[in-house]
Structure 1
Amino acid sequence: MKIYFANGLFALADRMFNEYVVEKIRKMDSNIEVYLPQENGDINDKMNYADSIKIAQEDNKELLSSDLVVAILDGDTMDDGVASEIGVAFGKEIPVIGVYTDLRQHGFENPEKLEAVKTIGENPFAYINNYTIGLIKMNGMMVNNIDDMLEGIKKYSEK
């Protein structure tokens, strides 16, 4: 099974998180291959130069040859590249596991939080683009933690 791991890769925190999660995936099963774009120095060594076409060609080659996409959706907004990768995966019917760990999604039964939404400018919940989430749910699944992501990968690898 080949997995395309989609997340931002420009901040040190993102790169460290990506390495941490991909290591967990790779340790699951030696038959799982993971493409992590930040490991592709031809296009992502920012000391060098790769134009937009080369980046799209390289990442699409890996994405389109994958059996599954793991897409990290965290951040103030999801990474633009990740949103594009989700769209490509949907168009090619490659399943996506969307991972959304934002803590603001918790407490959805708290009456104070629900009441706060009625006030202009108050929203104690996180927002994520519903169209993109819909694409994931139509051919994949959403999870809110790494353990559930690993379980999801296991289920797809058994198909």
Structure 2
Amino acid sequence: MSKKKMIYLAGPLFSRAELEYNLKLKDMLLNNSFSVFLPQEEAEDSAMGRESQNQEYIFMKCAEGVNASDLVVAVLDGVDVDSGTAWEIGYAYAKGKPVIGLRTDFRELADGIVNLMVEMSIVSLARDEEELLKMLEKFR
């Protein structure tokens, strides 16, 4: 039996809705035989975690999470991509890690779906969770 691929799940984590959506995605990925690094849990990157941990700790745990991952799934919803998520995408790209974007938001920029630098850093873009799972098949 082959080792489960590790996914770093990047995305905004500042509202209750974002936190709950991240957990939903994590569960979906776990149920489809992937391991998942979720910053809001693994790096304690949440409002409470930021009170008890210093920012360097959170930063280092997230960087280590990307380093240890086989690929990154990045939630790209919103008017603009979350700045932390954009950094994680760029870092993963620099490390040669494939990044799959997930954008369920129907809004588009005048010149593309997301920021040009983000769009050029991802290997594919899923428009919903079902499409994401299909894209992940080739990474098993």
Q: Does 1:74 align with 2:60?
A: no
TM-score of the pair, normalised by structure 2:
0.86
Give me the whole-angstrom Cα distance separating, in 2, the residues matched to 1:56 and 1:67.
Answer: 19
1:18 deviation in Å?
0.8
Structure 2, unpaired ranges of 5+: none
Q: Specify whether residues 38 and 126 from structure 1 end up closer, same or farther in structure 2 by C-alpha distance, changes over 3 A only.
A: same
Identity %: 30
**Which position in structure 1 is the counterpart of 2:54?**
51
> Of the candidates 13, 34, 38, which is equivalent to residue 9 of structure 1?
13
1:76 deviation in Å?
2.0
One-letter code aligned to 1:23: D
Aligned length: 135
Q: Where do residues 1-159 of structure 1 align in structure 2 (5 Å cutoff)?
A: 1-29=5-33, 32-40=34-42, 42-44=44-46, 46=48, 48-105=51-108, 128-136=114-122, 140-157=123-140
1:124-144 CA-to-partner distances (Å, cap 9, x unmatched) read 8985211111111xxx21111
Give me the whole-angstrom Cα distance separating, in 2, the residues matched to 1:3 and 1:73.
Answer: 16
TM-score of the pair, normalised by structure 1:
0.77
CA RMSD in angstroms comes to 2.1
1:56 deviation in Å?
1.2
1:52 deviation in Å?
2.5
